[in-house]
A = this chain, B = another copy of it.
């Protein structure tokens, strides 16, 4: 293989970086902590974004766009939110550069162009959006307001990793306004379910739906719902969050409405978001030591065709045949690519497309043509088979569905095998070190215990699962009584 990939066993973290960079998904940039999303990675994001966008619209949401900047006075209005993000804000203080008189050809910040009020580059948009909603909401007739925004946000992270944690990232943030608490809670849960459906059905990644503990809540939320996924190294990854914001932002920005009883009332809010971080989850959940494994539903290329030929005279008839096959596959809605470059050999191409996670590879040579067949290789199982060209599109449509399901099943089996119950502290610690994964255990419900468990084990409560059953028990750490198990893991 031409591009060396570190194995998972040798260095899991380097394996991940190799896949991102050598797989052509993203690259480091000249800006600290920011990445460049390369065309192949962006095509993947577009497929994810377009599907999510459709699901948002199908549930009654519309898109809008709010400013990148948040004036400091608005940013600080909702105190907990401000406190939560203040330490990681990029701040615009000036609006002009000028020639540096002491350095010919260089520029400097013009001290005379200092802003009266600093602008925060949005780390999240509750503040700017709720300051706007104040003008848009007067009566219950203006509610609900179901708005989503696709945007870039900036959080000044000290330790960054491609896709998983970058200073700037792309995301969507839904911001809805409701007349009643009940309706807002229902919206919060509805969008959590949209996320779970998307991640499971399209990304082939099973998730646990749950609620965060108070200490892990979004800054400014009354309740944070989340979906949690398990990576191959046994660490958890939070894949999406949906927040019930109560009336906190309405009160901070004085957003009241005249209800049906003709009384002024504060508006109820939700917000919810997923980001390019999902791509990190996708990579770490499914891929192997040969490279990426992408679920067919979101793979930029679902089928790649590689011609096997010697010299131009044998390539011409293959090209002709492939053109017919491509036409048939495209008509069946399949994203297909013909890799007919003369610059590299078939073996190099095979490795390259394995690295890029293309679900199905077809190879075709002159003898295959004579027999009216192609050689088909599955990326997920590495199985190869000789397949008739007749009815190929139909066969591939079904196989893509099977691959999608197989990738999901494999991830689900992995999670099932790596979700364990721990009933005392030593067992808990041993599991974390020896068989990392989700650990279901009793917790006494106090923030103090949660904090100590985190300090001593580096594991956090990922969530209180929505489907948790009542069960009497004692906290693994404090020994105090508990009424249900919660889900622990070390996490990204």
Interface, chain A (partner B; CB < 8 A): 27, 29-31, 34-39, 41-43, 45-46, 62-72, 74-76, 79, 82, 86-99, 105-107, 109, 118-121, 128, 131-132, 135-136, 141, 147, 151-152, 154, 156, 168, 170, 343
Q: Verify B98–A86 contact, CB threshold 8 A.
A: yes
Most chain B CB within a 10 A radius of its CB, from A27, A41, A82, A121: A121
Q: Verify A36–B66 contact, CB threshold 8 A.
A: yes
Provide the bound-state CA to CA distance between A96 and B39, in Å. Answer: 32
Q: Verify A119–B31 contact, CB threshold 8 A.
A: yes
Provide the bound-state CA to CA distance between A466 and B132, in Å. Answer: 45
Partner of A29, one of B66, B72, B82: B66
Partner of A65, one of B42, B63, B87, B91: B42
Q: How far is the CB of A182 from chain B (nearest CB, A)?
A: 23
Most chain B CB within a 10 A radius of its CB, from A43, A62, A79: A62
Name the residue on B nearest A136 (C-beta): B27
Assuming the contacts A30-B131, A128-B31, asked whether A93 and B65 have C-beta atoms less than 8 A apart, the reply is no
Q: Verify B69–A27 contact, CB threshold 8 A.
A: no
Q: Which residues of chain B have C-beta atoms less than 8 A from A128's C-beta?
A: 29-31
Assuming the contacts A88-B95, A94-B91, asked whether A71 and B31 have C-beta atoms less than 8 A apart, the reply is yes
Name the residue on B nearest A276 (C-beta): B65
Secondary structure of the A contact surface, majority rule: mixed
Q: Verify B69–A97 contact, CB threshold 8 A.
A: no
Q: Which residues of chain B have C-beta atoms less than 8 A from A76's C-beta?
A: 105-107
Provide the bound-state CA to CA distance between A45 and B65, in Å. Answer: 10
Q: How far is the CB of A41 from chain B (nearest CB, A)?
A: 8
Provide the bound-state CA to CA distance between A88 and B69, in Å. Answer: 16
Most chain B CB within a 10 A radius of its CB, from A27, A34, A90: A90
Q: Which residues of chain B have C-beta atoms less than 8 A from A118's C-beta?
A: 109
Assuming the contacts A31-B69, A68-B168, asked whether A63 and B89 have C-beta atoms less than 8 A apart, the reply is no
Q: Verify A90–B88 contact, CB threshold 8 A.
A: no
Q: Verify B106–A152 contact, CB threshold 8 A.
A: no
Provide the bound-state CA to CA distance between A39 and B56, in Å. Answer: 13
Q: Verify B37–A64 contact, CB threshold 8 A.
A: yes
Provide the bound-state CA to CA distance between A109 and B109, in Å. Answer: 17
Q: How far is the CB of A12 from chain B (nearest CB, A)?
A: 26
Q: Verify B96–A93 contact, CB threshold 8 A.
A: no
Q: Which residues of chain B have C-beta atoms less than 8 A from A91's C-beta?
A: 92-97, 109
Name the residue on B nearest A154 (C-beta): B68
Assuming the contacts A62-B42, A91-B95, asked whether A152 and B68 have C-beta atoms less than 8 A apart, the reply is yes
